[in-house]
Amino acid sequence: MLELKNISKTFNKGTVNEKTVFSNLSLTVNDGDFITIIGSNGAGKSTLFNLIGGSILADEGKIVLDGKDITLKKSYKRAKDIGRLFQEPKLGTAGSMTIEENLALCSKSGSWLSFVSKKEKEAFKERLRYLDMGLEERMKQPVGLLSGGQRQALSLLMATYNTPKLLLLDEHTAALDPKAQEQVLKITREVVEENNLTCLMITHDMKMALEMGNRTIMMQNGQIVVDISGKERANMTVEGLLALFKEKAGEALLNDRMLLGN
């Protein structure tokens, strides 16, 4: 379980550029939840992920993961328990290193990059076959030569190689073409379901937000204004979600990217 308790965050305090993103924000993510997060630019979605991942620290409040307070824990120490994918596929992999070397980096087999055993190579190949992209036959190829979709699928495999307690997907298909996007989303569904991962996914695609996972939240001005699941979500349409947002936020959603899709 992930708990954010009364989180507050202000950037550039005491300057003309001071901006409060969160003020007493609270959120509970249950084990096995797959939550899609939508909201216009500036709503606080990426800041939320940065706080959870540890790349920035909260001014006030607590972040608790699996019963342990991680509020002040360094990001590299959280990485063991929190996997993350970014919008840019290049951020999740080392482009100058081979596929095999990238997998060795995330493997906890205890071997050095200079030596990968035959058993480890077979384990890597087995994981790559799961992607159904033929990457198991290209393990000696630099990752920088892969397509965006292949690289993002590899990033997903690496982020979940050692099952994390939490997976953060930060618009991880937004930079891909429609075909690659569909393929990576399919792999995402399968990986999350088969490993029963707890997952948060930011998206600008409202249709996708209702189709993926089991719960959807909408953010506006650093607050969660909509939080739906169960039958309410199952029967919800994009039009209904827009109407609910207007009712809860007191204003219509004005974001072309979200209204028109990616």
Q: What is the pLDDT of residue 106?
A: 82
pLDDT band for 112, please (50, 70, 90 cuts): low
Check whether 47 has a pLDDT greater than 80. yes
Lowest mean pLDDT among 83-87, 110-114, 163-167, 247-251: 110-114
Position 120 scores a pLDDT of 87
Q: Give the pairing of strands 60-65 and 215-220.
A: unpaired
User: Band of the pLDDT at 254, cuts 50, 70, 90?
Assistant: low
Specify the pLDDT at position 253: 72
Q: Is 140 exposed, middle or buried (0-12, 13-18, 19+ CB in 10 A)?
A: exposed
How far apart are alpha carbons 164 and 83 in whole angstroms?
6
Query: Can you give the pTM of this predicted structure?
Result: 0.91
What pLDDT score does 37 carry? 97
Q: Which of 156, 151, 157, 198 is nearest to 175 (CA)?
A: 151
The pLDDT value recorded for residue 255 is 59
Q: How large is the average pLDDT for residues 225-232?
A: 96
**Nearest-CA neighbor of 92 among 144, 8, 158?**
158
Which strand ranges, in their side-by-side order, compose the sheet holding 166-170? 82-85, 166-170, 199-202, 34-39, 215-220, 223-229
Whether the CB-CB separation of 33 and 51 falls below 8 Å is answered with no
Tens of pLDDT along 120-153?
889 999 999 989 899 999 999 999 999 999 999 9
